[in-house]
Amino acid sequence: MDATAETVNQIIRFVDLAGVLANAILGGIAARSARLDIVGFVILAVMSGLGGGLIRDTLLQQGPPVALTDPAYLGLAITGAMIAFFVPFRGIWSLRSLILMDALAVGCWAAVGAQKTLEAGLGWLPAIVMGIITAVGGGAVRDVMLLHVPRIFGGNTLYATSALVSSVEMVVLSKLGMPTLGSAVAMASGAVLSLLARRYG
């Protein structure tokens, strides 16, 4: 593995985990809106931050989900719940950084989901679908448990569209032998589309 690939892999891991933290905090904020106690914060944070990956790994059946075997995931999800519980997140700048991290995560999670599916020996179409599931699954489970219409349906489906675009990019570039470039492009376009979706969606 050359230096560029290693750098991109480190960026992927950083964005992946930052996405877990950001989504866990967003889950905690949803728990606050629903006036839950701290256990409710943790449950919603874990679902928001890890739900997509849990569904992906359960479907791929390559062993227990990475969210359970790699302690960083659960640790960050619970940290996110605690942050959301103790920090009010009323300032515009703290919300903006959350939204930015979440936007970066959409493309990153889609890329990771698509790549893992290809590595499991499955075809390009399942890879695209699993990329989307990885990116939007956690949020969908969180929304349904709170009896909200899932965000991927309600009003702002450009969110799911950006996961679709990132998954397609990842699959195409991975099949062309450029998975590293694929991850970078998927992450960048996912972020841009998600932010556009927030602004104009």
Enumerate binding residues for a second copy (CB under 8 A): 34, 36-37, 39-40, 43, 46, 54, 58-61, 63-65, 68-69, 71, 74-75, 78, 117, 120, 122-123, 125-126, 129-130, 132, 140, 144-147, 149-150, 152-153, 157, 160-161, 164
Cβ atoms of residues 138 and 47 within 8 Å = yes
Nearer to a second copy (CB atom), residue 2 or residue 37:
37
Q: Nearest CA to 193 among 134, 116, 135, 114? A: 135
CA distance 135 to 115: 13
> Alpha carbon of 175 to those of 4, 16, 108, 123: distances in Å?
19, 22, 18, 10
Nearer to a second copy (CB atom), residue 129 or residue 181:
129
Q: Give the shortest CB-189-to-a second copy separation in angstroms.
A: 16
Q: Give the shortest CB-7-to-a second copy separation in angstroms.
A: 29
Nearer to a second copy (CB atom), residue 162 or residue 180:
162
Q: List Cβ neighbours of 71 (8 Å cut-off, separation of 6 or more).
A: none
Nearer to a second copy (CB atom), residue 120 or residue 181:
120
CA distance 75 to 99: 21
Q: Can you spell out the DSSP letters for 129-142?
A: HHHHHHHHHHHHHH
Nearer to a second copy (CB atom), residue 59 or residue 181:
59
Q: List Cβ neighbours of 142 (8 Å cut-off, separation of 6 or more).
A: 27, 30, 44, 47, 48, 51
Q: Give the shortest CB-34-to-a second copy separation in angstroms.
A: 7
Q: Give the shortest CB-98-to-a second copy separation in angstroms.
A: 22
